[in-house]
Structure 1
Amino acid sequence: MLYPENMRPDDDAYWEVARIIMGILWVVAVGMLVFACCTACCSKELDTLHRGAPPLVYMLFCILSGLLFLVLDSNLCKNNRLVQSLNVDGKVTSVEFPETCSLGTGGILVAIATALWGLAGVLSVMAQRKASKSTEANEALTEALISDDV
């Protein structure tokens, strides 16, 4: 068992979701990204893969990193019995632990990274649309620029 008896997170849905996201989904997402990058080099449709994948990856990473903030709403941060018992029985240490969690420097950086992942996804979709419009305009040109009748 990973947790003491008085600190069972079974009844805390936010903690369970955050644990699943941190433990499983990030590993699966990054593993799929590495596998896709390694196999994309062998594909005949390399341009198609490189055009479609980045926006999806950026938005997936944005969603996953944003869901990590569910920990702040869990009993781990709001109603942690272990911290409460340490503060009451804190005769061993002179340190008093805060009752609730707050965002530190790392949390603020994760929030900024989440916003940047989302921005990268939106901007890459906009860039793809602009590139596809210019490609369609170039395909509409059927007349040669230089005549063969010399």
Structure 2
Amino acid sequence: MNEKNLAYQMSLVSRECLKTKDKKRWLSMWATDGIIEDPIGPTILDPDGAGHSTPEAREAFYDRNIASADIEYIIHDTYTSHLECANIVTLNVLLDIDGKKYSQQVNGVFTYSCNQEGKLTALRGFWEFDEGAATLKELGVA
């Protein structure tokens, strides 16, 4: 793996923004037409499966999926090539839903693509929504 790979570096910045809840920095990482497919295909997170490809859609994605969650993003392995990388990861997610705490674990591959200017053009999550949903556990009242 090339640790200087631009897409890999952007994936690390994204991970840091998740950890620190830095919405402004996370949103600034994106090319104007950058797309988020997390996970890929139709789910309750993206009913038509078209992804989130406008600044407004990416901000809504952040607000729905990142803002109210504590996400531990563990990278097990990474493969890099040109302006792309693929991280094999585990996400340990703590959610606050209507005053109740839940935990969830997602295992998958997350790919990142960027342009020459260092802006993300795509984040794609290869994981099965139903498998992730099956790990959702209630922890109790917040």
Same fold (TM over 0.5): no
Q: Which has the higher contact order (CA 8 A, sep 6+)?
A: 1
Point out the structure with the larger strand share: 2
Normalized per residue, the structure richer in helix is 1
Instruction: Compute the TM-score of the two structures, normalised by the length of structure 2.
Output: 0.25
